[in-house]
A and B are shown apart, each in its own frame.
Chain A
């Protein structure tokens, strides 16, 4: 169970209103993709789910209870960069989450317990296709392999929600397609709820089951920070019509054009 409910949520930094009046319902097992121009608050929204930012007003509920105000093991994260620990090799990176749980004092396991954890980690690494590089350090891996590692590392905790902050933004197009297959496989297999930020609208459509578009509905040219962004489209992807998709594409294009001016 990992139902997310957002009610009248606002986020402000002083006078700067980032998000206004966000309302949202996400059922367990949805693949939610977040798109929008840069600076429109989708990262802020993800950070509130993660727990590193708190809403100014409104409610953010996970299974009916307010979401924890700091990061925790129920919400896994993969960032665009620096998601893995450079001082640990591939298998140690994945083992870490379990070792921390098993050994509160040292955060490190030995003997039989270590071997059990290691086997689980290797099984996960096989799933993401990294079982050939168990003893390599992250700096020896390509960008795509580092992201695979970051995903495996997050999955060992079996989080209820997986948050992805432009995870494939820095990757080459070919590798990106492989990663799309990988994340879809994992999503189908684990039935996990995924929130993924992306700059790429087609990525948002092809991966997601629920697409959220963040945009400012009101604009004050003299005071750009007067109004915040809200969710302008909340579409069940796959069940929506071609016309809507085209509309969104158009609005996003004009948004980008406006920003570039």
Chain B
């Protein structure tokens, strides 16, 4: 018998071990749910599987009586649009400013202190200001995400640029590169895969800001729906929505990772990871 630290699961074993916690959580939940429902059939705290299926099929596959939309899909589209816009704008801003701050000492001296201060402002604390300035429409929600994650992205890109080996910066100069060419042909391609990593890390915060903004002011969206039905204690809607958001977040992370691997094949080998 090998030592415990040397025993490795096979492919099947890995899958089974990975699934085990989910199965356990399910068993525990439905056990207590049926216990509660046996005492009080009108209990709303832990709905049964049937209630979940009913609620989801009502929201996803039947048009709403009031608007004619399919609620789940309309919510998803609205939230993803805000999230995509917010994260996209942040990534672009973070990339441009981060590179400039990282590679040009004059810009760094001028801008870095401001960015440090801005990154310390809690974004949710200035949400009211955003509502006042940008109104209650889409813009203020997108702006909250942008303000929330851009400082992090700028600082991350800046550090990645400054961590590039000095050798390659000098080498590019000996090949006749001016500052612009150096940024375009060396720095930009070197930090792009690292930007993707940073965006993956910032997605969690982006969702947080999105749901917070939607909870306060929106007419549709995943966060809005959760906080709306909270008033009726509709756990049969809230829990599937939470699972759906989790799945969406997982998919985004997965797609970004795939993008990084296919678009920058040199990167993973460069980092010493296995291919």
Q: Is B11 an interface residue (CB 8 A)?
A: no
Contacts of A50 in B (CB 8 A): 170, 174
Contacts of A139 in B (CB 8 A): 266, 269-270
Contact status A52-B264, CB under 8 Å: no
Contacts of A87 in B (CB 8 A): 189-190, 264, 266-267, 270
Task: State the main secondary structure of chain A at its contact with B.
Answer: loop
The docked-state distance in angstroms from the alpha carbon of A79 to that of B178 is 20
- 8 Å CB contact of B173 from A71, A99, A140: A71
Q: Is B12 an interface residue (CB 8 A)?
A: no
- 8 Å CB contact of B186 from A83, A85, A101: A85
Q: Is B3 an interface residue (CB 8 A)?
A: no
B245-275 vs A, Cβ < 8 Å mask (1 yes, 0 no): 0000000000000000000111101100000
> Known contacts being A85-B186, A137-B265, A140-B269, is A100 close to B177, with CB within 8 Å?
yes
Contact status A106-B175, CB under 8 Å: no
User: Of all chain A residues, which has the CB nearest B192?
Assistant: A87
Contact status A107-B173, CB under 8 Å: no
Contact status B176-A77, CB under 8 Å: no
A17-59 vs B, Cβ < 8 Å mask (1 yes, 0 no): 0000000000000000000000000000000001010000000
> Known contacts being A85-B168, A87-B264, is A72 close to B174, with CB within 8 Å?
yes
B159-178 vs A, Cβ < 8 Å mask (1 yes, 0 no): 00000010110111111111
Q: Is B14 an interface residue (CB 8 A)?
A: no
User: Of all chain A residues, which has the CB nearest B272?
Assistant: A139
Contact status A97-B266, CB under 8 Å: no
> Known contacts being A70-B173, A87-B264, A139-B269, is A82 close to B178, with CB within 8 Å?
no
The docked-state distance in angstroms from the alpha carbon of A89 to that of B140 is 44
Contact status A73-B181, CB under 8 Å: no
Contact status A108-B185, CB under 8 Å: yes
Contact status B165-A82, CB under 8 Å: yes
Contact status B171-A107, CB under 8 Å: no
**Stretch among A110-118, A151-159, A230-238, A247-255 lining the B interface:** A151-159
> Known contacts being A81-B167, A85-B168, A140-B269, is A104 close to B178, with CB within 8 Å?
yes
Among B176, B177, B264, B265, the most chain A Cβ lie within 10 Å of the Cβ of B176
Q: Is A11 an interface residue (CB 8 A)?
A: no
Q: Is B184 an interface residue (CB 8 A)?
A: yes
User: Of all chain A residues, which has the CB nearest B169?
Assistant: A71
Q: How far is the CB of B165 from chain A (nearest CB, A)?
A: 4
The docked-state distance in angstroms from the alpha carbon of A107 to that of B147 is 33
Q: How far is the CB of A170 from chain B (nearest CB, A)?
A: 13
Other contacts beyond A77-B174, A107-B185: 5, CB < 8 A: A83-B167, A84-B168, A106-B184, A107-B181, A108-B185
Show 15 A/B contacts (Cβ-Cβ < 8 Å), sorted by A.
Answer: A72-B173, A77-B171, A82-B167, A85-B186, A87-B267, A100-B175, A100-B177, A101-B176, A104-B178, A104-B181, A107-B181, A108-B185, A137-B270, A140-B269, A150-B171
Chain B residues with a Cβ under 8 A of chain A: 165, 167-168, 170-178, 180-181, 184-186, 189-190, 264-267, 269-270
